[in-house]
Structure 1
Amino acid sequence: MADLAEKTDRYERMLDAALAAATVTAPSGTPLGDAAAECEEMARSYLDDGRHFRDEDDLVNALASFSYGYGWLDAGVRMGLFDVPEGSHLFTM
């Protein structure tokens, strides 16, 4: 089983890569575009929060933040708010 530090680092890398891979599908200013922007903003905020917690040696809250951020982004992908590379292992589809 992975230790907490390794798992925290892995989830940070996964969220960072997922944010880089996902592109908004709907035009800005539309309801779907606004929803995508909110999902992306939440994911980025949780990434920043997780990094802050990790810098403070609070790995439990860091991991939780990375996980929540990833959940926001993955939910947006499942709802069709983001386009992601075909065959990507980063998302459930």
Structure 2
Amino acid sequence: MPAELVEKTDRYGEMLAAALEAAEIAVPAGTPAHDGAVECREMAVSYLEDGEHFRENDDPVNALASFSYGYGWLDCGVRLGLFAVPDDTDLFTT
């Protein structure tokens, strides 16, 4: 297994975990937007868990794909205004 793949997989897993910690739902509860934010977050968490499962089973390709998809869900939510993130973070493309 190429070292670059392992390094990239680890980096993306850490990035997704940090992004989940940084992103807070920014829309009022009880609104369709809030429901959408909750779903985006749930998807990101599911992809993080999937990625960890794949990594534990020596499948870095699928782990990296899972981490990337999870991050994409969160990043999209940030761009749509569903999540608030700290001003000093470079985790998202705001």
Interval of TM-score (by shorter of Structure 1 and Structure 2)? over 0.9
- The residue number in structure 1 matching 2:6 is 5
CA displacement 1:36-87 (0-9 Å, x = unmatched) = 0000000000000000000110000000000000000000000000000003
CA distance in 2, matches of 1:63, 1:37: 23
CA distance in 2, matches of 1:25, 1:89: 18
Count how many residue pairs are aligned between Structure 1 and Structure 2: 92
CA displacement 1:1-38 (0-9 Å, x = unmatched) = x7000000000000000000000011222111001000
TM score, norm. by length of structure 1: 0.96
Q: Which amino acid aligns with 2:42?
A: E
Q: Which amino acid aligns with 1:17?
A: A
- The residue number in structure 1 matching 2:48 is 47
Moved over 6 A (4+): none
CA distance in 1, matches of 2:9, 2:29: 33
- The residue number in structure 1 matching 2:29 is 28
CA distance in 2, matches of 1:84, 1:12: 19
CA distance in 2, matches of 1:27, 1:12: 29
Q: Which amino acid aligns with 1:16?
A: A
Q: Which amino acid aligns with 2:8?
A: K
CA distance in 2, matches of 1:48, 1:28: 26
User: Unmatched 5+ residue regions in structure 1?
Assistant: none
CA distance in 1, matches of 2:61, 2:12: 12
